Amino acid sequence: MIRTYVFSIVTVLCLLLVARHAAADAASDRATLAEAFTKLSSYAAGVARDAAKSDDRVLRKKLAPAATDIADDLTRLAQRVRKDTAYSALAKNVAELGTDAATLIEIADDAEDKVERKTFRAQAVALEQGIAAVRKVLETMRDADSKPAPMRDGAFQQLVEAIKAASFDDEKLAVVRHAAQSNWFRAAQIGAVMDLLSFDDGKVDAAAAMWPRMTDPENSFVIFNKLTFDSSKEKLRKRVGK
């Protein structure tokens, strides 16, 4: 009987997608990703074993070894992800595996027996889709890792205390500008700094200084909401090119 592990694969991939958003640390992401590779490897190995038992020469001589190669590659990827291999490198390898899985579909289409052709094609398609899903997650991880990280909460709190220690807005702004030279900020952090300035002009100056170092510009509405007057909001828009 053709082995089907599609349910397990889909379950693990869903866990992987959730893990990227909810995991407390990178180790959890990598452990879940390694599990996905392992499940896909087991699936490919099962396809290979069933193909090797077939009376169809195409399935036995071509599809079985091709599926075995994919299973072996997936096992190696599971090992590499545990060794902290860069997500960009893993994404490239998975893209190559996707091509191999597509070839597997073509091989299955050459089977003589109609039932086996349909069954093995479905297996090959499932494998290709599983690999494509992992690739998509890897590319998301790769892109996320390429983005600058905002100040950690502890370091940001130290910045807040330094700003508070300054007596006047001009002095506070000097601290802000110095910090903006080498740090990145979330929009909410920029808004928190603006709250430490007494007047709208100072808030605009602080926001303008930190704006190029914002990691989540899609949340810039938080910054504009810190300004009391429409004229101040328009002033900030002109200064940041919005």
Q: Bridge partners of 214?
A: 185
Look at the pTM and tell me if it is higher than 0.75. no
75 burial type by CB count under 10 A (0-12 exposed, 13-18 middle, 19+ buried) = middle
Give how far the C-alpha of residue 55 lies from the chain's centroid of Cα atoms, to the nearest Å. Answer: 43
Q: pLDDT value at position 22?
A: 46
What is the rounded distance in angstroms from the CA atom of residue 159 to the CA atom of residue 189? Answer: 10
**Do 201 and 227 contact (CB within 8 A), yes or no?**
no
Scored b (16 or more CB within 10 A) or e, 7-39 reads: eebeebbeebbebbeeeeeeeebbbbbbbbbbb
pLDDT digits (tens, 9 = 90+) for 152-205: 999 999 999 999 999 899 999 999 999 999 999 999 999 999 999 999 999 999
Q: Annotate 21-89 with DSSP letters as a single string.
A: HH-SSHHHHHHHHHHHHHHHHHHHHHHHHHHHT-S-HHIIIIIHHHHHHHHHHHHHHHHHHHTT--HHH
C-alpha angle 38-43-45 in degrees, rounded to nearest 5: 95
How many angstroms separate the most distant Cα atoms in the chain? 86
Residue among 196, 188, 191, 203 nearest 236 (CA) = 203
Question: What are the sequence ranges of the domains in the chain?
Answer: 6-145, 153-240
Q: pLDDT value at position 24?
A: 45
What is the rounded distance in angstroms from the CA atom of residue 165 to the CA atom of residue 159? Answer: 10
Residue among 92, 85, 49, 40 nearest 68 (CA) = 49
> Residue-wise pLDDT tens for the chain (242 aa)?
445 555 455 555 555 555 554 444 567 778 888 888 998 999 999 999 999 999 999 999 999 999 999 999 999 999 999 888 888 889 999 999 999 999 999 999 999 999 999 999 999 999 998 898 888 888 877 776 667 889 999 999 999 999 999 989 999 999 999 999 999 999 999 999 999 999 999 999 999 999 999 988 999 999 999 999 999 999 999 999 87
Report the Cα–Cα distance between both ends of the chain, in Å, rounded.
62
**Tokens linked to 26:** 């990178």
Q: pLDDT value at position 11?
A: 54
